[in-house]
A and B are shown apart, each in its own frame.
Chain A
Amino acid sequence: MSDMNTQMAERYKNNFLKEIEEQAEMGEWVKMCMQCGLCSGSCPTNFHSGWDHPPQEIFMLIRAGKREEVLNAQGMYMCTSCYNCYVRCPRKVPVTHVMHGIAEYAYRIGRAPKTQPTMHLSKTFWTNATKNGRVNEVQLTQSLYFKDGISAGIKKAMEMQSVALGLVKAGRLNLLEAVGIAHKCKDVKGIHAMLAKAKELEAKRKEAKA
Chain B
Amino acid sequence: MARKEYAFYPGCSSQKGASASNYLVSVESMCKTLDIKMTEIPDWNCCGASVSYAESGELPRIAMNARNFALAETNLPGQDIVATCAACWLGSRESKERLEHNSGLMADTQTALKEAGLQIKVIPEIKHMVEVLIEDLGYDELKKPVKKPLQGMKFAGYVGCQTNRPFGISGESFENPMYLDRLIETVGGEAVKFDQKVTCCGGALAFSEPEKAQGQIKDIIEAAYDGGAEMIVTPCPLCQANVEVYQGQINKKYGTKFDIPVLYYSQLMTLAYGGSAKEAGLNGNVVRARKLEEFAGK
Chain A interfacial positions (CB closer than 8 Å to B) = 25, 44-45, 48, 50, 78, 80-84, 86-88, 94, 96, 100-101, 103-104, 107-108, 112, 117-123, 125-127, 129-130, 133-135, 137, 140-141, 144, 159, 162-163, 166-167, 169-174, 176-177, 183, 185-187, 190-191, 193-199, 201-202, 205
Contacts and interface: CB of A to CB of B under 8 A. Distances in A.
Given A87-B174, A197-B112, A201-B59, A172 B20 contact: yes
A141 B112 contact: no
Given A80-B200, A191-B116, A194-B113, A171 B17 contact: yes
Contacts of B19: 137, 167, 172-173
Contacts of A140: 207
Q: Which of A50, A86, A103, A201 counts the most B-chain CB atoms under 10 A from its CB? A: A201
Nearest to A175: B17
B165 A198 contact: no
Please list the 8 inter-chain residue pairs (A to B) with the smallest Cβ-Cβ separation, ordered nearest first: A174-B17, A190-B116, A81-B50, A83-B165, A82-B200, A100-B53, A126-B55, A126-B52
A194 B63 contact: yes
Interface stretch (B120-128, B148-156, B179-187, B283-291): B283-291
Nearest to B165: A83
A174 B208 contact: no
Q: Which of B52, B109, B117 counts the most A-chain CB atoms under 10 A from its CB? A: B52
Interface of B: 12-13, 15-22, 43-46, 48-60, 62-64, 67, 104, 108-109, 111-118, 161-162, 165-166, 168, 174, 199-200, 202-205, 207-209, 211-213, 215-216, 241, 245-246, 248-249, 283-286
A76 to B, nearest CB: 9
Contacts of B17: 171-174, 176-177
Given A134-B15, A202-B59, A194 B51 contact: no
Given A84-B200, A86-B166, A190 B51 contact: no
Contact of B209 (A112, A117, A166): A117
Nearest to B94: A97
Given A126-B56, A130-B64, A172-B17, 15 more contacts: A25-B57, A80-B205, A81-B51, A82-B203, A84-B161, A86-B165, A133-B45, A167-B245, A169-B286, A174-B17, A186-B43, A187-B116, A195-B112, A199-B57, A202-B57
A82 B161 contact: yes
Q: Which of A88, A108, A130, A172 counts the most B-chain CB atoms under 10 A from its CB? A: A172
A122 B246 contact: no
A137 to B, nearest CB: 6
A44 B199 contact: yes
Given A83-B162, A86-B165, A122-B54, A198 B59 contact: yes
